[in-house]
Structure 1
Amino acid sequence: MGYEEVIHVLGDFGRYQKRIYFLLCLPAILCAFHKLANVFLIAEPHQRCRLPFETKDATYSINETLFPEYYPYDTINKKYSECEIIIDNKTEKCTEYIYDHSVYGYTTVIEWDLTCSKTYLVATGNALFMFGVMLGSIIFGQLSDRYGRKLIFFISLILQVTAGILASVAPEFWSFTFARMIIGSTTSGVFLVAYVIALEMVSANKRPIAGTVCQMFFSVGYMLTAVFAIYIDNWRTLQLALSLPGLCFLCYWWFIPESVRWLLSKNRLVEAKELIQRAAKENRVHVTDNVLDEMLISEIEKTDNPGKKESTVLDIFKYPKLRRRALIIFFDWFACNITYYGLSWSTNNLGGNPYINFVLSGLVEIPAYAFLIVVLNRWGRKRVQCGCMIVAGMALLSSLIISADQYFFIVLAAMVGKLAVTSAYGTIYIFSTEQFPTVIRNAGLGACSTCARVGSVLAPYINVLNKIWQPLPLVIFGIITLIGGVLSLLLPETLNKKLPETMEEGESFGQ
C-alpha cells in the first residue's frame, strides 16, 4: 500500500492528471526560450575592420578588390581576416569594426564589440548562464523539498521574469551576464520543479512517457525561439519578448495543486487527502476517507519512522563495481550535456542560414523522443544508450572528411549527431535512475546532474575553437560522445530487472 496504490485507484493518468500535466508542460516552452536565447542575443555577425578612409556610418559591403589590399588571408579557414587590417604593409589588430546587420540585426556583440580578442566573453556569457542552471538545480531542488514544489515554482517564476526584464535594459556586458545567470538558475526552479510535480502524480508505468512528452514541449520552445529572433532584430526587445510570457503562468497559483507526495512526506495528511478527493471527483472515482487511510498507512509510517541514517553518494566509492558503473554514468551525463548544448549553441557556425539550422536542431528532437517511446521498453536501455551515443559520435566525426563549403553535409552531420545525442540524453535519465540503489538514487541523480552541468559550462569554450579550425568543435564533441557510447557497453541492462534497493544489491546488480 501507499500513494502508488492511490494513483491506481484514481486512474493511472485520469482526466485530472492530464489537465494538470498539460499545464505543467507549458513552462518547459518558456525555459527553452531562456536556455537557447543566447544563440541570438550574443550572436556574432560577420564583421570587418573599418578602413582608414571610411566614415563611422559605412556599411559592411565594399568592393571585393579592396580585400586583398587591406585584409590578410586566413589560409586555414580560407577567408579574409575579420580581426586584422593591413596598414602601410603591416598587419595590425582592428580598433573599429563594421558589422553585417543582414542576418542578426543588432546583437550584444555589436553593441559591446564582443568579437575577435573579446570573443571569449561570448563563451563566458554562455558558461555563466549554465553555471547558474547548475546552482539553481542545487538550490531550488533543496528548497522545493523543504518548502514545497508549488511555492518554489512561483518564486522562481517571479525571479525569472524580473531578471529577464533587467537583462533587457542592462547597460553593459557584465550586468547583462549576471542577470542572465539568475535567469539560468530560475529555469531549474521553474522547469524541474514543474517536471517533478507532473511526474509525481502519475503512476510508475506512465512516467517514462510523461517525462519524454514533457521534453517535447521544451523542443517546441526551442524552435519558437528562432521565430521570435527572426521577427525581432534588436536584442533588447528580443530579451523582453522572451521574458514577458512568464507573467501568464502566475495565474497557475489558482490552478496547480501542491504535490501530494510532498505533502505526505511532510505528514500533512489532511491537505493530501483533500487533493486526492478533488482528483477523484474530477476522475469520477469514489474513494472514502477510511480507504484512503488504509492505502496511505505505509506513507505515514515512513514519515513517523525515518529509520536509520541515510546513505550518501560518497558511499558509492566503497564498492568497486558500483564505483565503476557510477563513473561511467557520470561521464555519459557529461558527454550528452556538453554535446547537446554544444550543438544547440553552434548552429550559427555550421554555414548556411542560421535560423533554419536552429529550427532543424530543435525539430530533430521530436523524432528523437518519439523514438525512445517506441524502443526503450523493447530494445532495452543499454542498446539504445550505446547505439545512440556511438551514432552521434560517428556522425560528428564525419565532419573531418566534409569540405568547409559543403554546408548541406555539415548541417546534415550535425543534425544526425543532435538527433542521436538527444535520444541518448533522454535514455540516460531512465538508465541511470535504474542503475543506482534506492538508498542513494536521488543523491546519485544529483551527482549526475552536476556532471552534466560541468559539460554545459565547458561547451561554449569548445565552440570558440572554430576560430582556430572550423570543424574542431564537432570533432571534439564526436570523440567525447563516442567514448561515452563505448564505455556504456560495460553497464548492465536494467529493462525488466528488479532494481537494487541496498548498496550490497547495487554491487551485485547485473552479475
Structure 2
Amino acid sequence: MDEDPIETAIGRFGKYQTWILFLISVGWFPCEYQLNNVVFLIPSVEYKCLDNNVTNYCPCNNPEYDTSTIVSSVTSEWDLICNRTHLASLAQSMMQIGILFGSLLFGYFSDRSGRKSVVLTSLILEVVFIIISAVVPYFWLLLVCQFLIGVAIGGSMLSCYILAVELCGKSFRPYLSGLLEVSFLISYITLPIIAYFVRDWRQLQLVTSVPWIIVIVYYWLIPESPRWLITVGRKKEAIDILTHIAKKNNRPTDNIEAIVEKVELLNKIDSKNQQKVTYIDLFRTPKIRVYTIITALIWMFCSHTFFGINQYIGRLQGNLYLNVLLSAACLTPGLIIVIIATLRLRRKVSIISSFTTAAVSLLVFIFIPSDMRAATLAFAIIGLIGAYTSFVQVYLYSSEIFPTVIRNTALGFSSMFARFGSFIAPFVVNIGIEWVSILIFSSVAFSAAILCYFLPETKATTLPNTIKQREQAEM
C-alpha cells in the first residue's frame, strides 16, 4: 500500500485533474452562496409599528419595514416578527435538515451507483430548487424548497469532494484540501458585493443560481471515478477512463491494464457484494466501527464550534455588507495554513493543532475585558480560523481513513452528525451568559482534539479500497 497504482497511471495532479477541479469549483458556487446568504434572505429587520408609531414594538399588526439596507427579504415579505420569529428560525434550519438527509441519501447512492451520477444529479437539482424558491407565493412552499435545496447541497458537498480526491494521487491530497476551499471563499467574498446591488431576496436567489444551469453539460465533461469502477468490478470502464486521463496528462498508456489488474489483485473484491453497500457496513468490523463513531463525533464537534464562533463574528457592529466581507477575509489565511500544515505536519498533529488553537483562543476570550474590543475581536477571529481549518482538514482526513467502497457512505454519516452540531450551536449562543457559551464551545473543541488522537495516521498513504485493507492496516 506504499505505492498508489492510480497515481502511477495518471500522475499526481496533471492538466486533466486541474480541469475537473475547475469544473467542480465552478459548479459549487450556488451551494456556497446558499450556505452564506441567510443574512441577506432572512435578516433581523428594523420596523416601525404603525399601530402606535413605536419602533420594533410587539405585537404589531401593521409594520413598516426599514428598507434602507435590504429592500425585500423573507422576513419582511411574510412578517416574521414578534410571535412569528420562530418561523424565521425554522426557515433557516430547514436547509440544515435537508443537508442531513442529502448527506445520507446521496452518500449511500454514490457508493452504490457511482460518483458521477450523484455529482450531476445533486448539482442540477440544487440550481432547479433555488430557482423555484425564488418564485414561490407561499411561505410553506419556501420551507419545502429550503429543505430540497439542503438535500441537493448535502449530496454535492460530499460527492464532488470524493470525486476530486479519488482522481488525484496521494501526494497531491494536501494541496487539494485547500484548493477545494477556493470556491467557498470566493463566493463568501463576492456574495455581499452581489447583495449590495441586488437587494431583493427573490432576485438574489435568481442571480446566484440561474447562470449555473450550465452544469447540465457536466454530463459530457466529468468522468466516473476509476477507483470506484475497480472496486465494483467494472474493469474495462476503469481502463478506458484511466487511458483517457493519462493521454490528457501526457503519460504512457501501455501499462494501464496491468495497473488495474494489480489494483484488483490488491482489493480481492467480490464485485457482486460491493454493489450492496449499506450503513451497516460502517459497524460490521472492529476498526471501521471505532473510526465511524469517533469521526462522527469529531464532525459534530467541529461543526458546533465553527458555527458557534461564527455567530459571534456575525454580531459585529457596523455596515452589514462590510461585516460579511470582513468575516470572509479573516478565513482566507486558513487556506494557506491548511496547505502548509498538511504538507509539513502529520495529519493528526495538524488537525489536533487546529482544534486546540480554537479551544485556547476561546478560553483567552473569556478573560479579556469587554471594553477591549480589538483584543476580543482578534481572539474570536483566531478561534474562527482554528475552527475553519479544522473543518477543511476533517474532510480530507475522513476521506483518507475510510476505504473506497464505503467512503461516501462514511462521510455522509459523519455529515449527518455535523448537522446536529450546527443545530445545537444557536441554542448555546443564546444561553444568555456569554462566558458559559464560550466555555462550552472551547470544551467541545478540546474534546474533538482528544478524539483525533485515536484515529490512524494517513499522511502519504494510498487510499484503501476495501474494508479488509483498512482493518489490516496498522495505526
| Residue 507 of structure 1, CA deviation | 11
Contact 2:107–2:412 under 8 Å retained in 1: no
Q: Aligned match of 1:339 in 305, 308, 312? A: 305
Distance 1:133-1:386 versus aligned 2 partners, 3 A rule: same
Taking the aligned partners of 1:127 and 1:258, their CA distance within structure 2 comes to 33
Contact 1:377–1:495 under 8 Å retained in 2: no
Paired position in structure 2 for 1:313: 282
- In the superposition, the TM-score normalised over structure 2's length comes to 0.84
Q: Give the counterpart letter for 2:444 in structure 1.
A: I
**Is 1:115 aligned to 2:81, yes or no?**
yes
**Is 1:239 aligned to 2:202, yes or no?**
no
Q: Aligned match of 1:227 in 193, 196, 202? A: 193
Residue 98 of structure 1 aligns to a residue in which SS?
Answer: strand
Number of equivalent positions: 468
Distance 1:327-1:286 versus aligned 2 partners, 3 A rule: closer
Distance 1:261-1:383 versus aligned 2 partners, 3 A rule: closer
Residues 172-181 or 300-309, more deviating: 300-309
Alignment of 1:177-192 (within 5 A): 177-192=143-158
Paired position in structure 1 for 2:457: 494
Contact 2:401–2:458 under 8 Å retained in 1: no
Paired position in structure 1 for 2:324: 358
Paired position in structure 1 for 2:389: 423
Taking the aligned partners of 2:433 and 2:82, their CA distance within structure 1 comes to 15
Residue 252 of structure 2 aligns to a residue in which SS?
Answer: coil
Paired position in structure 1 for 2:135: 169
| Residue 410 of structure 1, CA deviation | 5.0
Taking the aligned partners of 1:5 and 1:508, their CA distance within structure 2 comes to 18
Paired position in structure 1 for 2:20: 20
Taking the aligned partners of 1:415 and 1:332, their CA distance within structure 2 comes to 21
| Residue 434 of structure 1, CA deviation | 5.7
Taking the aligned partners of 1:173 and 1:475, their CA distance within structure 2 comes to 37
Contact 2:304–2:425 under 8 Å retained in 1: yes
| Residue 322 of structure 1, CA deviation | 7.5
Paired position in structure 2 for 1:216: 182
Taking the aligned partners of 2:88 and 2:436, their CA distance within structure 1 comes to 18
**Higher-Rg member (1/2):** 1
Return 5+ residue gaps in structure 2 as ranges. none
Taking the aligned partners of 1:489 and 1:261, their CA distance within structure 2 comes to 27
| Residue 348 of structure 1, CA deviation | 4.2
Paired position in structure 2 for 1:61: none
Paired position in structure 2 for 1:66: none
Paired position in structure 2 for 1:44: 44
Taking the aligned partners of 1:207 and 1:313, their CA distance within structure 2 comes to 24
| Residue 32 of structure 1, CA deviation | 0.4
Alignment of 1:43-442 (within 5 A): 43-50=43-50, 52=52, 54=53, 82-84=56-58, 93-288=59-254, 291-300=255-264, 302-304=268-270, 312-315=281-284, 323=290, 327-344=293-310, 347-397=313-363, 400=366, 408-432=374-398
Residues 202-211 or 438-447, more deviating: 438-447
| Residue 469 of structure 1, CA deviation | 6.1
| Residue 450 of structure 1, CA deviation | 2.0
Taking the aligned partners of 2:375 and 2:348, their CA distance within structure 1 comes to 30
Contact 1:395–1:417 under 8 Å retained in 2: yes
| Residue 24 of structure 1, CA deviation | 2.0
* RMSD of aligned Cα (Å): 3.7
| Residue 473 of structure 1, CA deviation | 5.6
Taking the aligned partners of 1:434 and 1:149, their CA distance within structure 2 comes to 16
Taking the aligned partners of 1:433 and 1:157, their CA distance within structure 2 comes to 21
| Residue 193 of structure 1, CA deviation | 2.0
Paired position in structure 2 for 1:481: 445
Residues 231-240 or 215-224, more deviating: 215-224
Write the deviation string for residues 422-467 of structure 1: whole angstroms up to 9, x where unpaired: 112223334455666899766554432221121123334445x28x
Contact 1:351–1:407 under 8 Å retained in 2: no
Taking the aligned partners of 2:200 and 2:79, their CA distance within structure 1 comes to 15
Comparing both chains, which one has the higher relative contact order based on Cα–Cα distances under 8 Å and sequence gaps of 6 or more?
2
Contact 1:2–1:295 under 8 Å retained in 2: no
| Residue 392 of structure 1, CA deviation | 1.8
Taking the aligned partners of 1:294 and 1:387, their CA distance within structure 2 comes to 41
Contact 2:50–2:62 under 8 Å retained in 1: yes
Distance 1:50-1:204 versus aligned 2 partners, 3 A rule: same
Contact 2:49–2:61 under 8 Å retained in 1: yes
Distance 1:405-1:101 versus aligned 2 partners, 3 A rule: farther
Taking the aligned partners of 1:484 and 1:134, their CA distance within structure 2 comes to 20
- In the superposition, the TM-score normalised over structure 1's length comes to 0.79
Q: Give the counterpart letter for 1:131 in structure 2.
A: I
Distance 1:339-1:114 versus aligned 2 partners, 3 A rule: farther
| Residue 101 of structure 1, CA deviation | 2.3
Taking the aligned partners of 1:493 and 1:313, their CA distance within structure 2 comes to 16
Q: Aligned match of 2:423 in 457, 463, 473? A: 457
Residue 21 of structure 2 aligns to a residue in which SS?
Answer: helix
Return 5+ residue gaps in structure 1 as ranges. 55-69, 72-81, 85-92
Contact 1:313–1:444 under 8 Å retained in 2: yes
Q: Percent identity?
A: 28
Residue 312 of structure 1 aligns to a residue in which SS?
Answer: helix
Residue 364 of structure 1 aligns to a residue in which SS?
Answer: helix
Contact 1:41–1:108 under 8 Å retained in 2: yes
Q: Give the counterpart letter for 1:314 in structure 2.
A: F
Q: Give the counterpart letter for 1:292 in structure 2.
A: I
